[in-house]
């Protein structure tokens, strides 16, 4: 399914509404404008398998570009809009993009990128003019609305967030079907498991370039529902959007939950959330007490999944299951979960190891990096793959994540998982954000370090450090308690909530 199907039956239904401005894009408009852009791409010489790069803020045109590529057998490569020009240009060049479409809202970044991407032929800008780019609206006005005889289905080509190194391009094989034909696993899951359909009103508060917002909004379009996209996340504005638009489904990351929970109780109770039937969350581990507080507030409507941009598999846990097994990310709904030791041997229930998903076919590669592609595969099973997370399975097959392998601390020969300590500290009233990681230590090999962003009104210094350490000692084993606490004005996070620990750890590396 794709927007053209719904444009024929419900042309005036909003495919997308901007939460703040109320601006609407109907299915008729989304279908026609994506069709015109697809024609412009073909006239520029692009064809099946070519790449269209997208550098956009949260704007309706982002999905015109998405569907233009998807209905043309092309790849759409959404670029992180928070990168520096050289970083963004690296992705455009590495992806092999032949076209670059940008938002004038990111004009300064787009102009800087433009001079660093010599292989890009077609360059279009919407929402205003950007030097070096042709006008998007003029390009669409001059294009044809004739539907081609064949519309092969394209795919996304997205880049990892780069929290542990340079972003990696994740390139799936193109589907062997037309864009209107069934066969999209995510769409099937969202319909069959999440209950998404043409009556769904889906709130998307995260940046559109990230995998989950891009893919889930597109799946809502495939099913004929309405996307409500926030221009940017704000905790009270999110509650207001649920009430204003009658939101039925939503998707969040744990840092958004924390921000909403820290609103004054009077603000939290101000909005009518009765339309809200399902709150999906993922992207980062959710502290147990944060999730418990959200269920107490919103009711048992939280549904958590664990997956990755690579699309190797998925687990899922609803609120009732989670309350029975707090901290779990659920059982497999796509692929089979295997937890293995360093040698690749499967571990018994309760033992921590590398999490692999096994499927009949693992259909992705890291673009231009066969070594990374090979390293993500199991040493003996080519159809098992991992993204480097650590965890364990319980006796009932429920998966519990402990941390990323790259972040595990080995102190005195003992494994310490920073996420466990972060989950405890994040609810301290004087802490707005926290990162825990290992730093070099002559005696222990590594020592546990915490870096804290104080909450408004909290005074960083020795007194707050002692308070935080005492708080931790009451809640985790003493060997897991940070040796010391440093304070920072802000912690480096991606807009989807993932800590960029590499930047923090680099400050403590031996000179």
Q: Is residue 495 part of a domain?
A: yes
Q: For the residues 34-52, what does the mean pLDDT come to?
A: 97
Give 182's contacts (C-beta < 8 A, 6+ positions apart): 1, 188
Q: Which residues, at least 6 apart from 18, have a Cβ–Cβ distance to it below 8 Å? A: 24, 58, 60, 228, 229, 230, 231
Highest mean pLDDT among 79-88, 111-120, 160-169, 477-486: 111-120
> Of 183, 208, 223, which residue sits at a domain end?
223
Return the DSSP state at 337: E
Chosen domain end from 208, 223, 238: 223
| Higher pLDDT, residue 478 or 56 | 56
Of 194, 223, 252, the residue at which a domain comes to its end is 223
In angstroms, the CA 310 to CA 509 distance is: 30
pLDDT of residue 161: 63
Task: Give the mean pLDDT of the chain.
Answer: 92
**7 within domain boundaries:** yes
Which H or E element spans position 445?
A: strand 445-454
Contacts of 93 (CB under 8 A, 6+ apart): 116, 117, 119
In a domain, 386, yes or no: no
The Cα 451–Cα 434 span in angstroms is: 6
477 falls within a domain: yes
Residue 490 sits in a domain whose CATH number is 3.30.300.30
* Residue 420 is assigned to a structural domain of this protein: yes
pLDDT tops 80 at residue 509: no
Confidence of residue 163 (pLDDT cuts 50, 70, 90): very low
Residue ranges making up the domain that contains 431 = 408-507
305 — pLDDT class (breaks 50, 70, 90): very high
Choice between 463 and 402, residue whose per-residue pLDDT is larger: 463
195 backbone φψ class: left, alpha, beta (φ>0; ψ -120 to 50): left
Asked if residue 248 belongs to a domain, the reply is no
Instruction: Please report the pLDDT score of residue 10 as a whole number.
Output: 96
CATH number at 42 reads 3.40.50.12780
pLDDT given for residue 386 in this prediction: 93
Let me know if residue 64 belongs to a domain.
Answer: yes
The pLDDT of 50-57, averaged and rounded, is 98
Q: What is the 3-state secondary structure (H, E, C) of 213-282?
A: HHHHHHHHHHHCCEEEECCCCCHHHHHHHHHHHCCCEEEECHHHHHHHHCCCHHHHCCCCCCCCCEEEEC
For the chain, the domain total comes to 2
Gyration radius from the chain CA atoms? 23
Nearest CA-CA partner of 285 in 399, 382, 364, 185: 399
pTM, two decimal places: 0.82
> Is residue 403 domain-resident?
no
């Amino acid at each position: 399914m794709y927007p053209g199907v719904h444009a024929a039956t419900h042309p005036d239904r909003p495919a997308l509404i901007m939460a703040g401005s109320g601006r609407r894009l109907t299915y008729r408009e989304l279908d026609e404008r994506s069709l015109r852009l697809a024609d412009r791409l073909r006239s520029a010489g692009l064809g099946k398998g070519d790449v269209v790069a997208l550098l956009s803020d949260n704007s309706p045109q982002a999905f015109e570009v998405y569907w233009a590529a998807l209905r043309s057998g092309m790849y759409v490569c959404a670029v992180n809009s928070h990168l520096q020009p050289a970083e963004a240009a690296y992705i455009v060049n590495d992806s092999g993009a032949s076209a670059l479409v940008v938002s004038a809202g990111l004009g300064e970044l787009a102009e800087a990128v433009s001079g660093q991407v010599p292989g890009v032929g077609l360059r279009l800008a919407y929402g205003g003019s950007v030097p070096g780019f042709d006008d998007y609206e003029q390009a669409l006005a001059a294009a044809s609305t004739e539907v081609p005889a064949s519309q092969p289905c394209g795919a996304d080509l997205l880049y990892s967030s780069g929290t542990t190194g340079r972003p990696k391009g994740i390139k799936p094989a193109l589907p062997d079907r037309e864009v209107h034909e069934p066969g999209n696993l995510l769409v099937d899951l969202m319909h069959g498991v999440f209950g998404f359909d043409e009556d769904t009103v889906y709130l998307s508060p995260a940046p559109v370039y990230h995998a989950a917002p891009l893919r889930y909004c597109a799946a809502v379009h495939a099913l004929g529902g309405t996307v409500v996209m926030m221009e940017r996340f704000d905790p009270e504005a999110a509650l207001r959007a649920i009430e204003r638009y009658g939101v039925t489904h939503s998707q969040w990351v744990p840092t958004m939950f924390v921000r909403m929970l820290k609103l004054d109780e009077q603000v939290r109770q101000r909005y009518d959330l009765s339309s809200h039937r399902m709150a999906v969350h993922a992207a980062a581990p959710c502290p147990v007490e944060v999730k418990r507080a959200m269920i107490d507030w919103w009711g048992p409507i939280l549904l958590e999944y664990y997956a990755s941009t690579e699309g190797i598999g998925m687990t899922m846990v609803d609120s009732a299951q989670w309350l029975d097994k707090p901290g779990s990310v659920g059982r497999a709904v796509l692929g089979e979960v295997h937890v293995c030791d360093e040698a690749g041997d499967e571990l018994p229930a309760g033992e921590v190891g590398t999490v692999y998903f096994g499927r009949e076919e693992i259909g992705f590669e890291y673009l231009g990096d066969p070594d990374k592609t090979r390293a993500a595969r199991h040493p003996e099973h080519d159809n098992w793959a991992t993204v480097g997370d650590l965890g364990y399975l319980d006796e009932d097959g429920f998966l519990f994540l402990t941390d990323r392998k790259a972040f595990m601390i080995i102190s005195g020969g003992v494994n310490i998982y920073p996420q466990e300590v972060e989950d405890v500290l994040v609810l301290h009233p004087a802490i707005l954000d926290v990162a825990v990681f290992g730093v070099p230590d002559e005696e222990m090999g590594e020592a546990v370090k915490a870096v804290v962003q104080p909450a408004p009104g909290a005074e960083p210094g020795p007194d707050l450090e002692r308070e935080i350490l005492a708080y931790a000692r009451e809640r985790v084993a003493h060997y897991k308690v940070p040796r010391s606490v440093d304070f920072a004005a802000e912690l480096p996070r991606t807009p989807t909530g993932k800590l960029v620990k590499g930047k923090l750890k680099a400050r403590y590396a031996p000179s």
